[in-house]
Structure 1
Amino acid sequence: MEGGDEQVMSEVHLGCPPHSSAPHISVFTFTAPPTAFQPNVAWDGDHHATCESSALNQCDVGDHVCVEDASRQLNFDKDGDLVLSRRRRNHNKRCLNYRVTIQHNITSSLPLVGLQVWKAALVLVDFVLHKSFMSSDFVDMIAVELGAGTGLLGILLARVLRAIFVTDTGTEVLDNCAINVQINAGALKYCESSVLVRELDWKESWPPKIGASDVEAQQRNSSKYSWSASEVDEAEGASLLFAADVIYSDELTDAFFNIVEKLMSHGSEKVLYLALEKRYNFTLDDLDIVANGYQHFQSYLKDEQEYARLNGTFQPCFVGERINIDQIPQYIKEYERGKDLEIWKICYRKTPHSKSVL
């Protein structure tokens, strides 16, 4: 990408101090619905893990939500009167509050846009939160995130996945991502070692070059985001790929689909969930405001009807299905969706009329 000195700013950061040069800290909040699927643990409003128990009931304390143990000793005031907590109307259901802390830049050059949080990442976060709240589909699976940037999506997925490879390129972006993984591990109670920050340059071939040994990697800063042979095997065995806001340059889109094709051609069958924001520009060729980058993206995809018509002329291809985001609640409140955000489910069909199970 050219134009490395040009500064850009995500709409997500419009409320941040515009001239701050130091990394900025933003806190994104969301609430799990009372019917949310919760693997293994329940969480109170301060993110302390507690064992699942029928004795746990939710109560309101001011604006906060806490978990109360019904078997706890009763409390009395100084006059000997029983102190009762004000309960929700349906106290058998729990709304669980979460916070995730993200270090990011407020502006960046084009090659370092991964230092910011973008709206497409937030709508994809809403999607994976809804999927994880309403089902066990992602539980104990392995995933690879492409162009992870600040690591926000991978951090939230780590709550339910067995492992996730959070990938991007450039030491500055990867260092910032690794910091975010570290500072949220205690609060969100995921195993930090299950989130692997790794460098993946889409313009290079897959599999990536195998790095130095663990001891050597600790001695050389440049090697700490390298892959091991076992990690490459594990990534090829992943069932899920994720990417957000990686469609804004035709050259980058070409490189993206090149690496996705290689990933999907190796190992297990995979599904890609991709979120994007259509960006419009006035062009002299069209004499109109058009989303050329979006059109280039769509040129890579076939729908199910086109795929069915291939018959004997079959060649491997990407089959895409647009997900209706109107049916996905907005859990993250710190952004406005607008009409130009989309999520796509994309499969790579290597054989005629094969179907994805996810």
Structure 2
Amino acid sequence: MAALTEEQTMIQHQAESWVTKNASVQEFRDVRDGDSEVEFSPQIWNEMVSMGWAGIIIPEAYGGSDLGYLTFGLILEQTGRQLSASPLFASALVGASAILMGGSESQKKNLLAGIADGSEIVTLALEEGPRHAPKNIALTADSEAGVFTLNGSKTFVCEGMSATSYIVAARTHGKAGHTDGITLFVIPADAAGITRTKLNTVDSRGYANIEFTQVKVTDDAVLGTVGEGYGLLESVLDRARAGIAAEMLGTGSQAFEMNLEYLKTRVQFGQVIGSFQALGHRAAGFYSQKELARSCVEAALQAIDASAENIDEMSSLSKCKVGEFLHGMSNELIQIHGGIGMTDEFNAGLYLKRARVLESSYGNQAYHRNRYAQIKGF
């Protein structure tokens, strides 16, 4: 476990207290059972913004606090525990990272302050198929006289319904499957030719499919360099993977604690079931997995803060290890609770559904095992 600074410890405790009180699983249920198109509470989001959470990785010059990715991860872990829905991850981490690393000074001035104060929700539009495949970009961006015309579609865009701008991965030349020819664009969500359709997902979040039909932008919408955006894209994705791993850690940790509490209170055959050796061994095994996952997640976030050379390696390691823990732990949550675990009234099913979506986001365990092996030269 990382040695936290006094400031980080204070932020962690504040986040734990606030999320438990104000953005609990019950709040998530209320949104799920309501008619919200964006699938989060604007009031809760505004409160997160007022606490400065949306500006954690943004430099002070652009309205943020520049407290780093590890600090952001501590907050995401707490929102993961309570299944709190908001654009915090999609915009304040993924969107902000893309602008910070690839944006021009003009783009930074125009967008980062808005992300920090919540007036802008900037999200990445990447996937075009059922699986995470950053190289398989087929959406085209044809250029003529300094104007790019985008045609194609994106699927499963996180916070796609609430976004004010999209960071769009498009192909300015080459073929799908090639790294050369990928370009990133920052495009307003209300641009002519953009159509978004809400997706009904098992985890009840604001995902959307986005259609681009003759969407025209000038070269000042380019993020980074035309045709050379794949390296930037992977750097953004590594930060997304480490961030979402922190949220997954929180989701899995809460599932573990729910199980532990049940083992301590459920009585069968005249004694609490936690006293049964087989169940005790299972709990001990998951505790070990949890702490190993935590070490991997915090190491990845620290690597990003330190601009280390192995960020890609550590991000894949963290996403894979925490994915393995969360997969098994969310299953265990259902199994240990038996029949009640299968009911909607109990929260276990909500954690299982969210777990499956988080596992597949930005690459599942198999994807990152393969990527990690390639990075290590196997």
Tell me the TM-score normalised to structure 2 length: 0.26
Which has the larger helix fraction? 2
Tell me the TM-score normalised to structure 1 length: 0.27
Computing the radius of gyration over CA atoms, which structure comes out larger, 1 or 2? 1
